[in-house]
Structure 1
Amino acid sequence: MASFTRLQVYQTLLENPIMPIFHHNDLEVAKKILTACYEGGIRICEFTNRGDYAHETYSELRKFGKKNFPDLVVGAGTIVDAASATLFIQLGADFVVAPVLHQDVAITCNRRKIAWMPGCFTLSEISKAEEWGAEIVKLFPGQASSPDFVKAIKGPMPWTDIVVTGGVEPTEASLKSWFDAGARGVGIGSQLFPKSLVEANEWQAIADKITEAVRVAKSLKA
């Protein structure tokens, strides 16, 4: 069962505009990534459903997070069907993120009052997602878009809340460009925890990198 209501999830994301996105097959490494995120000031993150037994890793990681970081919101990403949504909700997912737009996922999440953030790339997809109950949509892939596109969306649809995933760098220039365009948050993956640092067990360096990204993001949003 989710530890947070969907309203709490949305509010956490709006107040903490960087959402790390990660996956690792090794549970112990995943725990260290989660710990580095928390120590770096992150309060919402996404574990992606990729690879065999990803749900088993998520289950144990969610238990670890609930015990050690009770105020950390942890969702499940790369959810592309209702069956996967049901499974991860049962494992305690606080929210569900999808790279695509499927109504069966929306219905499943809405039935359980779980926050749902679908991947959209056109105004028509965004409008349909909002019709199906999405409060925040994921603009994906961000690297195929631009801040100007976000600004263009906000023109006719100023009520739309967008989180950009893909193509966002944890630098002041990159974050400023997306936030100035109207993005409410960003999802960032391996640039927050480079493979070289993970393999070298440089967890403090990773936490420090995340701390700086969080500081910059919050200062820009303020």
Structure 2
Amino acid sequence: MLKKLVLLFILISTSSFSQSNWQKFKKLSPSKRMWVLFHPFKAEKAQIISKEAYRVADSIKNSPLLDGDASGGQVDAFRHAFWIASLRQEIGKNAARSLGKAHEKENYRTYKKNKLEDGTIPDKIATTMDLFNNEIGLSLSKNNTKSSKIGLIYKVINAIHSGKLKVIKKDNNGNFLTCKNTSISQESLKGKWKNNKCLVNSNYKK
């Protein structure tokens, strides 16, 4: 760890790590700061890929390709799988996986602060969904393989339509359901990390 800290301070003192980057670093969650310490030369590339993945997911949300649900639905699943698949191509499998895990640790802190993440307060089942979909994303690409962006997008979409990813079960009105199809009230979800939401395959028909 000492070597990592020394390396970080060296980067800060050079043009490769600007003052603005230092400000961004300080705003990161502890888990993501730790990831940057262990992957200092991959951090900037990961940031660029992450922004692009969110931009692509936003475009997909407004298309008829998926269900339009960015909070527990197919678009949410797409965002994570596409993000991790893109990261693996550029920074490698292990670094991509560990960044995905760091992000989910950040979600728990968001829950503790009662703040929103993608429109809802994070919970345990959303984290389980994200980690599962991250692993599928890892399987859809390879290290240092420059697949076309369009090709990777459709690879992820096809995996979703084939039911290989996970989404959170909802009814046609967007209400969360238990695995026994019982509607879950918003009131019962308040302040709970663990709840009765249900994960289903990404080709689940409402």
The reply to whether TM is greater than 0.5 is no
Q: Which has the larger radius of gyration?
A: 2
Structure number having the greater helix percentage: 2
Larger relative contact order, structure 1 or 2 (CA cutoff 8 Å, min sep 6):
1
